[in-house]
Structure 1
Amino acid sequence: MNKIYVSAGAVLAASVTGAAWLMNANPSAQSTDDAYVEGNIIQVTPQVGGSVTMIAADNTDFVKAGEPLLRLNDVDAQLAVSRAEAQLSRAVRQVRVQFANATQGKANVTLRATDLARVQADLARRRQLASSGAVSGEDVHHAEDAVKAAQAALDVAQQQLASSQALVDKTTISDHPDVQAAISQLRDAYVAANRTTVRAPASGYVSKRNVQIGQRINAGSAVMSIVPPDQMWVNANFKESQLRQIHIGQPVQLVADVYGKSVRYTGRVIGQEAGTGSAFALLPAQNASGNWIKVIQRVPVRIALDPKELAAHPLKLGLSMHVEVDTSQPGNPSVKAANTVYSTDVFEHEMQDADAAVARIIAANVGTGQLAKVN
């Protein structure tokens, strides 16, 4: 008898639970528990290689964009900077010599032109005197030779001036090709030295640190990861039979197991993956066999979360979520009108120190008035 009462009580409880679920369930909704939190995992990779001399962040630490994460031995980089600075100084002084040669060439042309005018006047005067017999024909011949020599000297001076001007014509010291090449080398050296300090490309929590002090690392190797807490979404894996009612822009109610039903998130459907989960698996299913059994496939549906709710109740990657899409709403494709863009400005200031060094070195090695263009 007691067993009968217990069985009846269990049936009654199950009936009440089922009735309550039917009363509270939204008939115009599609739901799933096969949903998980996902987000960006930003790999931190040094742009140059070297030995690690300092690690400034560890797993679970929160870092801001631009903060140093680790530092590499920069001795070789600083030596390269010193060599590049010396090369720029040498290039500036060599170009100064080229400008001086061009100026000297102009003066030499003027001198040779003056000499030619003088001997031409002397020849004309001797020819006048030769007609009266006051000057011998030999003196006139010598005067003619002097004119030819002066003309040749002027031609040589003009060619030398053209050669000198070809090196500096329409340039200044700062934009001369030789100086620009040295500037480029100095910038390369400064940027390489600056990159020995690896900085956080975005704000977030550090995870997967796999580098140690003294370790030699190569450029491009992943040393740690950063997870931005504000760049998270939910991928809900709906059955293929549910997809016909799910559209972009439909409102979504979400519950995280970590907070329970007391905390509800609101979101929007922003897209569906291009294939099922099995289609993108490492080993896709091969159904062309004799013993085929149909398995209902699931397609990941991406759901954007409310940023304010996410900030108030942060989530972790991989947490389980219960998702309920209100399919009574027609959806709004404009919710996903533009592609998502992620960017960082951490690397935009790498050239500042280099440009300051370039200006300093040129100012220290250029002469007064040498920046004017040579016409």
Structure 2
Amino acid sequence: METKQENIEAAVKPKSKRKTSFLILLIALLVIGGGWFAYYELYAKFVEETDDAYVNGNLIALSPQIAGTVTKVVPDEGDFVKKGQVLVELDSNDTQIALQDAEAKLASKVREVRSMYAAADNYKAKVESSKVAYRQALSDYNRRKNLVERGAISKEDLIHYQDNVESAKSQLEAAEQSLEMTVALVDNTVLETHPGVKSAVAALRKSYLDNMRTQIVAPVSGYVAKRAVQLGAQVQPGSQLMTIVPLHEVWVDANFKESQMKDMRIGQPVTLTSDLYGEDVEYKGEIESLGIGTGSAFSLLPAQNASGNWIKIVQRLPVKIRLEEQNQDKYPLRIGLSMLAKVDIRNTDGKVLAKLPKQEARYNTDVYHNSLEEVDKLVAKILHENVGVTTAAQ
């Protein structure tokens, strides 16, 4: 009997243990399911995430504006450069000679134009003198004509006076034509606005700018990358000397699946982490623009989906994320770094596409704005030195 009872108890105990284990497993599954459901309802359904995101920024190619030979290179790759700093210098001997030649030509042109004004005044005086001579000859002829009728002088003498009238008239016409030709060169102008002087001034300004452009400056502050220029190299306008990367103006291009874009709007907050610094360092940002087209649409060889072997592929749209300055000084980002982007899509009041045109420039530099101030002073100096007192007063 005891043996039978023990057998019954031994058979019941495993069943009881299985029930307990099953109950524990069920509770665990319910807890996990409830946790996942709570996580989804409270957080996951309001966040779109992608690890197909990379740091991007402006890559400013530094190029010369004139041809020349490189004589100095200041920075190397990785160096920080300040806006307006001279980075590369070209041989300036030829440009200095051209500048001196332009200065001499402007001075010569000013004197030439002065002589034109003086010639115009001279021809005006000749016209007045020729008018007086013509009136005098005509008056003499008219008086002698009456004397011929009375026989006081001969007809030969009258013919002589008539020839004087014709000669004076011809001289007057020649003087008037010369005056017209001379006045046409200076009419309705002053010295500074004369076309010849303005052309010489423009040539001087160009030579001055060419001489200034032998010093190639940084248009923005940033870090040097891809330095290609070498000492002694003969460079041409448009050739790339180096690249400047302003790391304080970087952004993130995150590529989301098209199925994730339904509730994304401009202005939604974004949390980002980088593979470089790990999850402990977070960056804050917001969506600046949503993609205008998929990557395949703008590829060099767009997909031809009209073919018979078409297979549907989920496309991705680029989303530009503007970063806040938080953490960027302590943990600077570099171009091309991988990022993990999480977009909070709770607020869907923003726009999908921008509606208003941009009025202000997103990027600008003022390092070239004052280039002509010094040359204008030089022009004024040359004009002052080569304009006579009489001409200046006129």
Is 1:301 aligned to 2:319, yes or no? yes
Q: Deviation at 1:246?
A: 1.6
Q: Deviation at 1:240?
A: 2.1
> Judging changes above 3 Å, is the alpha-carbon distance between structure 1 residues 205 and 22 closer, same or farther for their aligned structure 2 residues?
farther
Which residue in 1 is equivalent to 2:377? 356
TM-score (structure 1 length as normaliser): 0.84
SS class of match (2:129): helix
* 1:196-235 matches, cutoff 5 A: 196-235=214-253
Which residue in 1 is equivalent to 2:387? 366
Q: Is this contact kept in 1: 2:102–2:207, CA < 8 A?
A: yes
> Judging changes above 3 Å, is the alpha-carbon distance between structure 1 residues 103 and 21 closer, same or farther for their aligned structure 2 residues?
farther
SS class of match (1:230): helix
Match of 1:240 among 258, 262, 265: 258
Q: Is this contact kept in 1: 2:263–2:348, CA < 8 A?
A: no
Q: Deviation at 1:170?
A: 1.1
Measure the CA separation in 1 of the matches of 2:349 and 2:342: 14
Which residue in 2 is equivalent to 1:102? 120
Q: Deviation at 1:30?
A: 0.7
Match of 2:197 among 176, 179, 186: 179
Q: Deviation at 1:266?
A: 2.3
Measure the CA separation in 2 of the matches of 1:141 and 1:277: 99
Measure the CA separation in 1 of the matches of 2:313 and 2:353: 32
- Alignment gaps of 5+ in structure 1: 1-11
- Alignment gaps of 5+ in structure 2: 1-27
Which residue in 2 is equivalent to 1:81? 99
Question: Residue type of the partner of 2:387?
Answer: V
Q: Is this contact kept in 1: 2:283–2:326, CA < 8 A?
A: no
Question: Residue type of the partner of 1:92?
Answer: V
Measure the CA separation in 2 of the matches of 1:20 and 1:207: 47
* 1:253-268 matches, cutoff 5 A: 253-268=271-286
Which residue in 2 is equivalent to 1:192? 210
User: Which contiguous aligned blocks of 4+ residues in structure 1 show a shift greater than 6 angstroms?
Assistant: 286-292
Which residue in 2 is equivalent to 1:9? none
Q: Is this contact kept in 1: 2:290–2:353, CA < 8 A?
A: no
Match of 1:347 among 368, 383, 393: 368
Q: Is this contact kept in 2: 1:190–1:353, CA < 8 A?
A: no
> Judging changes above 3 Å, is the alpha-carbon distance between structure 1 residues 255 and 117 closer, same or farther for their aligned structure 2 residues?
same
* 1:1-375 matches, cutoff 5 A: 23=39, 25-127=43-145, 135-281=153-299, 294-307=312-325, 310=328, 313-333=331-351, 336=354, 337-339=356-358, 341-371=362-392
Question: Residue type of the partner of 1:269?
Answer: I
Deviates more, 1:335-344 or 1:84-93: 335-344
SS class of match (2:45): coil
Q: Deviation at 1:219?
A: 1.4
Q: Is this contact kept in 1: 2:63–2:241, CA < 8 A?
A: yes
SS class of match (2:173): helix
> Judging changes above 3 Å, is the alpha-carbon distance between structure 1 residues 22 and 286 closer, same or farther for their aligned structure 2 residues?
farther
Q: Deviation at 1:135?
A: 4.7
Measure the CA separation in 2 of the matches of 1:310 and 1:338: 30
Cα RMSD for the two superposed structures = 3.1
Measure the CA separation in 1 of the matches of 2:357 and 2:37: 39
> Judging changes above 3 Å, is the alpha-carbon distance between structure 1 residues 246 and 268 closer, same or farther for their aligned structure 2 residues?
same
Question: Residue type of the partner of 1:356?
Answer: K
Which residue in 1 is equivalent to 2:3? none
Q: Deviation at 1:342?
A: 2.1
Q: Deviation at 1:213?
A: 1.2
Measure the CA separation in 2 of the matches of 1:106 and 1:238: 82
Q: Is this contact kept in 1: 2:294–2:317, CA < 8 A?
A: yes
Which residue in 1 is equivalent to 2:10? none
Q: Deviation at 1:334?
A: 8.9
Aligned residues: percent identity? 43
SS class of match (2:106): helix
Q: Deviation at 1:215?
A: 1.5
Q: Deviation at 1:326?
A: 1.1
SS class of match (2:104): helix
SS class of match (2:376): helix
Question: Residue type of the partner of 1:97?
Answer: S
SS class of match (2:192): coil
Larger Rg: 2
- Superimposed CA distance per residue, residues 225-249 of structure 1 (whole angstroms, 9 cap, x where no aligned partner): 1111232111112122211222222
Measure the CA separation in 1 of the matches of 2:191 and 2:82: 42
SS class of match (2:193): coil
- Superimposed CA distance per residue, residues 86-115 of structure 1 (whole angstroms, 9 cap, x where no aligned partner): 222222222222111111101111111222
Q: Deviation at 1:54?
A: 0.6
> Judging changes above 3 Å, is the alpha-carbon distance between structure 1 residues 296 and 142 closer, same or farther for their aligned structure 2 residues?
closer
